[in-house]
Amino acid sequence: MESHDFVAYGLPLIEEDDIAGVLDSFRSGWLTRGPKTLEFEKTFASYVGAKHAVAVNSCTSGLHLTLSCLDLGPGDEVITTPLTFVATVNTIIHTGAKPVLVDIDPYTMNIDGRKIEEAITSHTKALVPVHIAGYPCDMDAVMDLAGRHRIKVIEDAAHAIYTQYQGRMVGSIGDATVFSFYATKNLVTGEGGMVTTNDDDLAERLRLWSSHGLSHGAWNRYTDQGSWFYEVLVPGYKYNMTDIQAALGLSQLKKLNKMQARREEIARYYNEAFAGCPAIELPIDSPDVRHAWHLYIVKLNLAEISVDRNAFIDRLKEKGVGSSVHFIPVHYHPYHRDYFAGASYPVTEEIFERIVSLPLYPKMSDEDVAKVIQAVMEILN
């Protein structure tokens, strides 16, 4: 593996097998949803241990699709976290329901299971936990609360392909789970996503609404009238995945374990290098979960260093290392500042000032990793 002058913050791993899969789609003539999408859905469902998987063109559309299928509307409330990508919250707003944000746990940075119950009202219809960085939420607490209050759990698993919670795969736990295959995620299809569920009715609704509301049953019922006939049963969306994306998904899924092993290795190098450094709080890990290491987020102990987080990021860049921040709290964006006017989430706000995501992806060479470690140590000393 070569070393790079600038260690990019994130890069996908696209190899010859991925390219061959995509070329095969082109040669087959199937450009949109076809046999490879069906195969990717089947393979993915069995990978996470869910009964159904519905391939979509992004995690954002998957979230919107799933929330829409719960018949949410004005007057309903959906609980989620302020420390997430805005799509989690925007898709709730798209349904007409009101997002209700619950502050995070300072260690895991996931929604704080102990604070969810206070936010539940008679209007609460769903809960959207986000497994930040690939470390799972406390799903026992979440599922227990949801069961007692009869609310649905839709997991935002954009970071959590490969994640296990107490031996169970994320994707097989909540009422539905939505994954992202965006270019920066652990498995990439460029743009793309997947919804998994064990609920037969929900799966049927997801399929119906993901493709204009076209009744596939109609094709069987009216075959004698020719294949031009279709019926639209609901005013559905256009959210399907294409076979070109699915080809990439299939080749990426085949080597996911290999890619994850490299992520785990890099995370271990970082953990060992930064252990005992008082300026850095390491990302959480625990023996009863399997971390997907989508992100390696360190928390700076600002009292121990002479720079703030933004200056730390600038210094890293000067030293040839890209980094990022996950995330700008949702309620800090101009639109959401007005929407959530007056709201404050103290744990999220305090942590936001201290977090930096370091480069972590399978394509990184050992030299790249060493360069990141050296740059961080130089700045902190």
Minimal distance in Å, beta carbon 158 to ligand PLP?
3
Of 54, 55, 67, 87, the residue at the interface with ligand PLP (CB under 6 A) is: 87
Q: What share of the chain is helix, strand, coil (3-state, %, to 5)?
A: 45, 15, 40
Pick 92 or 280: Cβ nearer ligand PLP: 92
173 to 202: interface string for ligand PLP, x by CB under 6 A: -------x-x----------x---------
Minimal distance in Å, beta carbon 54 to ligand PLP?
14
Minimal distance in Å, beta carbon 58 to ligand PLP?
3
Q: Could you say whether residue 59 binds ligand PLP (CB under 6 A)?
A: yes
Q: In 3D, which of 204, 202, 183 has the Cα closest to residue 192?
A: 183
Of 116, 130, 133, 154, the residue at the interface with ligand PLP (CB under 6 A) is: 130
Pick 136 or 193: Cβ nearer ligand PLP: 193
Q: Considering just the CA atoms, what is the radius of gyration of the chain in Å?
A: 22
User: Cβ–Cβ contacts within 10 Å for residue 254, how many?
Assistant: 13
- State the catalytic residues: 185
Task: Give the burial string for 110-142 (b: 16+ CB within 10 Å, else e).
Answer: bbbbeebeeebeeebbbbbbbbbbbbbbbbebb
Number of residues located near ligand PLP, criterion CB under 6 A: 14
| DSSP structure string for 133-150 | GGPPP-HHHHHHHHHHHT
Of 40, 85, 165, 345, the residue at the interface with ligand PLP (CB under 6 A) is: 85
Pairwise CA distance, residues 321 & 358, whole Å: 8
Choose the binding region for ligand PLP from 54-62, 145-153, 219-227, 302-310 (rule: CB under 6 A). 54-62
221 to 260: interface string for ligand PLP, x by CB under 6 A: ----------------------------------------
327 preceded by cis ω (within 30°)?
Answer: yes
Q: Six-digit token pair at 162?
A: 């490969």
Pick 63 or 380: Cβ nearer ligand PLP: 63
Q: Are 70 and 125 in contact (CB under 8 A)?
A: yes
Q: Are 208 and 240 in contact (CB under 8 A)?
A: no
Please give the single-letter amino acid code of residue 288: D
Pick 7 or 87: Cβ nearer ligand PLP: 87
Pairwise CA distance, residues 175 & 198, whole Å: 7
Pairwise CA distance, residues 264 & 349, whole Å: 29
Choose the binding region for ligand PLP from 13-21, 34-42, 57-65, 316-324 (rule: CB under 6 A). 57-65
Pick 18 or 274: Cβ nearer ligand PLP: 18
Pick 88 or 172: Cβ nearer ligand PLP: 88
Minimal distance in Å, beta carbon 202 to ligand PLP?
20
135 to 174: interface string for ligand PLP, x by CB under 6 A: ---------------------x-xx---------------
Minimal distance in Å, beta carbon 242 to ligand PLP?
14
DSSP-derived pairing of the beta strands 124-127 and 193-197: unpaired
3-state secondary structure of 78: strand
DSSP-derived pairing of the beta strands 77-80 and 124-127: parallel
User: Cβ–Cβ contacts within 10 Å for residue 349, how many?
Assistant: 15
CA dihedral over 184, 189, 192, 196, signed as positive or negative: negative
Residues 88-117 that bind ligand PLP (CB under 6 A): 88
Choose the binding region for ligand PLP from 30-38, 84-92, 255-263, 302-310 (rule: CB under 6 A). 84-92
Q: Which residues bind ligand PLP (CB under 6 A)?
A: 58-60, 84-85, 87-88, 130, 156, 158-159, 180, 182, 193
